[in-house]
């Protein structure tokens, strides 16, 4: 009976891919059915190389799903069954779905080879609930599959279907190629993770903002193609969020922290229920909720355009305005003041900047003192600008950019002479942990120097700060007293606290003035809603500063020798 049904499915009879005369015009979300012909699917495992891929992935997905307490998993892009088999062998209750009949058939066959009977179903994501019954603890969409949807309406519909089949605490795990790198810098691949077959080449032969056409060449010289939409990372994150998912965390080649240009693939993990990001980490060590919010905020195009064009360009931090009303110049004076506070900086001095933004301070330090600086920053959008500005100034041999959170920095103990940070610690919900991490990173005798927008040591009515918190989605602020106590607890000695509190109202007021003056021009770069909210938020900070509710300054602590 099954063989008869197979013969009745035309997708299982096709042996050759069929494209238009101009293949690059084929951009339909249903095209994948005609692309995954059986002759191509039969060779797919040569590209994947199950054993090599299992070694490269390790137990990343298994550990993540176990940490979530997931049991029922819907593998919506099962392909030839690699992840379905891996998850079933680990004890999960898996349903294996794919829009391609050839892939579903091959997955079932591969399952039997491993002594498993897969629960398979052919299902197009856009109508998933038509073919899938019940709810699941997790939906996994892996193997760069989401890229087959060429229309945004189809992507949104598929995400809505994923959302609907998840239980209240369900999680979505969705991966994609690093198309940002392909579009911006050209194609390169390490072949370390997803496509592990050594004898098969997979590379794009055509790329534009709406299409990446990949060519797959096999050892027998057979050639196949796939037309895919090049999903940018932050666009995908935005669609996932707009579908209702929350606490979105993105990994680069299975790593929580990664250099911007390195990953071949990104893996997005998102909760249906609102939860702290720690809950979705396989090692319970991912970003806290406050940090995750900061990542989303600064990765938005609205924020990127505003901070780069209005706030200060290379230096997006509070400025010192004693000698100049210009935001960029005042911001640079802050950097110079902090460097002066550190004391002697030599070419052999190693500095790490936590929350480096666009890297202006790092480039100043590298250029001025010929030292090396590592930038750790949560926003990939800012990191891209940082890398490009750094390369343009021929400083990329001294400035290194790392994507990550400063609560858990992937650097050895006692490896830096200076930990530097400007107006970044407020974005952490674990500020004591940040100071402890700074202490770990420093060599004995090393300096921690930082600025941070803070609340005054004594605030009679904490609710008076609520409008301040809301501008950038904060839940609290530190204070001079808090950082003194937290630094002491971490093991630091206090060297100097330089109070520049009046500058915080000066800075936010000046930013508001420049935004108002350039409002019409900025509407072409950032949304009107964002700009209007920003003006209200800036005014709240100025009022709070004038009312004595805020504080700001340069704090210098030292790790004992």
What is the number of alpha carbons within 13 Å of residue 472 lying toward its C-beta?
Answer: 22
DSSP state of 413: T
Structure tokens at 392: 């343009």
CB atoms near residue 370 (< 10 Å): 13
Strand partners, 372: 350
d(CA 497, CA 555): 5
Rounded-to-integer distance, Cα 556 and Cα 448, Å: 6
- The secondary element (H helix, E strand) that includes residue 447 is strand 442-451
Q: Do residues 304 and 298 make contact, with C-beta atoms less than 8 angstroms apart?
A: yes
The pLDDT tens digits along the chain (561 residues) read 344 344 457 778 777 898 999 999 999 999 999 999 999 998 888 777 788 788 878 888 998 888 778 999 999 999 999 999 999 999 999 999 999 999 999 999 999 999 999 999 999 999 999 999 899 999 999 999 999 999 999 999 999 999 999 998 899 999 999 999 899 888 765 544 455 456 778 889 999 999 999 999 988 889 999 999 999 998 999 999 899 888 788 888 887 666 656 788 999 999 886 433 333 333 233 445 566 666 667 767 777 788 888 887 788 899 999 999 999 999 999 999 999 999 999 999 999 999 999 999 999 999 999 999 999 998 877 887 888 889 889 998 999 998 888 888 888 999 999 999 999 999 888 999 999 999 999 999 999 999 999 999 998 888 889 888 887 677 889 999 999 999 999 999 999 999 999 999 999 999 999 999 999 988 887 888 889 989 999 999 999 999 999 999 999 999 999
What's the rounded Cα separation, in Å, for the pair 546 and 531?
23
CB contact at 8 A, 251 and 277: no
What confidence score (pLDDT) does residue 319 get? 95
- Cα 102–Cα 103–Cα 109 angle in degrees, nearest 5: 95
DSSP 294: H
Instruction: Extract the tokens encoding 305.
Output: 């355009």
Q: What is the pTM of this model?
A: 0.56
- Tell me the β-bridge partners of 200: none
Query: Domains plus CATH for the chain?
Result: 44-194+229-277 (3.40.50.150), 301-559 (3.40.50.150)
Quote the DSSP letter at residue 53.
H
Kindly give the interhelix angle for 431-441 and 480-490, rounded to the nearest 10 degrees: 50
Distance CA 59, CA 161 (A): 27
499: helix, strand or coil: strand
Q: How far is CA 373 from CA 167, 349, 358, in A?
A: 45, 9, 13
CA distance 441 to 414: 5
Segment (H or E) for 385: helix 380-392
Which residues lie below 8 Å from residue 10, measured CB to CB, with a gap of 6+? none
- The reported pLDDT for the residue numbered 306 is 84
Residue 14 CB partners (closer than 8 Å, separation 6+): 34, 37, 38
Task: Write down the number of H helices and E strands in the chain.
Answer: 22, 19
Residue written as tokens 């099954």?
Answer: 2
DSSP 311: I
Task: For residues 17 and 41, give the distance between their C-alpha atoms in angstroms, rounded to a whole number.
Answer: 11
Contacts with 293 (C-beta within 8 Å, 6 or more apart), sequence order: 473
Q: What is the pLDDT of residue 276?
A: 34
User: For residues 224-263, b (16+ Cβ closer than 10 Å) or e, as one string?
Assistant: bbbbbbbbbbbbbbbbbeebebbbbbbbbbbebbbebbeb
């Amino acid at each position: 009976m099954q063989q008869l049904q197979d013969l009745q499915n035309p997708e299982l009879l096709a042996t050759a891919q069929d494209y238009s005369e101009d293949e690059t015009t084929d951009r339909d979300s249903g095209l994948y059915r005609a692309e995954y012909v059986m002759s191509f699917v039969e060779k797919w495992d040569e590209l994947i190389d199950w054993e090599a891929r299992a070694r490269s992935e390790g137990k990343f997905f298994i550990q993540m799903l176990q940490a979530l307490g997931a049991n029922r998993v819907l593998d919506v892009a099962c392909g030839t069954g690699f992840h379905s088999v891996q998850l079933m062998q680990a004890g999960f209750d898996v349903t294996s779905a794919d829009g391609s009949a050839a892939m579903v058939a091959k997955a079932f066959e591969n399952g039997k080879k491993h002594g498993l009977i897969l629960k398979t179903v052919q299902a197009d994501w856009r109508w998933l609930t038509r073919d899938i019954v019940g709810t699941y603890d997790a939906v996994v969409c892996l193997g760069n599959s989401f890229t087959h949807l060429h229309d945004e309406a189809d992507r949104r519909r598929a995400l809505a279907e994923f959302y609907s089949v998840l239980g209240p605490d369900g999680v979505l795990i969705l991966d994609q190629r690093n198309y940002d790198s392909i579009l911006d810098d050209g194609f390169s691949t390490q072949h370390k993770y997803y496509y592990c077959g050594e004898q098969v080449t997979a590379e794009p032969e055509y790329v534009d903002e709406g299409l990446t056409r990949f060519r797959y060449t096999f050892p027998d010289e057979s050639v196949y193609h796939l037309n895919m939409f090049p999903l940018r990372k932050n666009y995908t994150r935005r669609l996932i969020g707009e579908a209702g998912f929350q606490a979105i965390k993105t990994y680069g080649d299975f790593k929580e922290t990664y250099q911007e240009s390195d990953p071949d693939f990104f893996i997005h993990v998102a909760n249906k229920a609102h939860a702290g990001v720690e809950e979705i980490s396989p090692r319970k060590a991912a970003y806290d909720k406050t940090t995750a919010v900061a990542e989303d905020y600064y990765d938005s195009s609205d924020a990127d355009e505003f901070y780069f064009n209005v706030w200060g360009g290379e230096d997006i931090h509070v400025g010192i305005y004693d000698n100049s009303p210009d935001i960029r110049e005042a911001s640079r004076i802050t950097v110079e003041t902090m460097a002066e506070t550190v004391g002697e900086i030599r070419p052999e001095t190693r500095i790490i900047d936590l929350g480096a933004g666009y890297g202006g301070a790092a480039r100043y330090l590298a250029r001025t003192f010929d030292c090396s600086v590592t930038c750790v920053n949560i926003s990939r959008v800012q990191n891209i600008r940082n890398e490009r500005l750094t390369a343009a100034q021929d400083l990329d041999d001294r400035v290194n950019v790392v994507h990550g959170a400063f609560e858990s920095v992937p650097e050895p103990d006692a490896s830096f002479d200076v930990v530097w940070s400007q107006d970044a610690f407020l974005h952490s919900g674990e500020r004591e942990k940040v100071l402890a991490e700074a202490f770990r990173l420093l060599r004995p005798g090393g300096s921690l120097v930082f600025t941070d927008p803070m609340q005054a040591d004594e605030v009679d009515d904490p609710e008076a700060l609520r409008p301040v918190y809301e501008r950038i989605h904060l839940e609290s602020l530190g204070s001079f007293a808090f950082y003194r106590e937290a630094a002491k607890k971490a093991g630091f000695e206090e060297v100097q606290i330089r109070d520049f509190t009046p500058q915080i109202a000066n800075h936010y007021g000046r930013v508001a003035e420049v935004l108002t003056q350039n409002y019409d021009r900025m509407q072409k770069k950032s949304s009107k809603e964002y700009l209007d909210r920003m003006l209200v938020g800036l005014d709240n900070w100025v009022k709070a500063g004038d009312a004595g509710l805020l504080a700001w300054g340069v704090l210098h602590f030292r790790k004992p020798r």
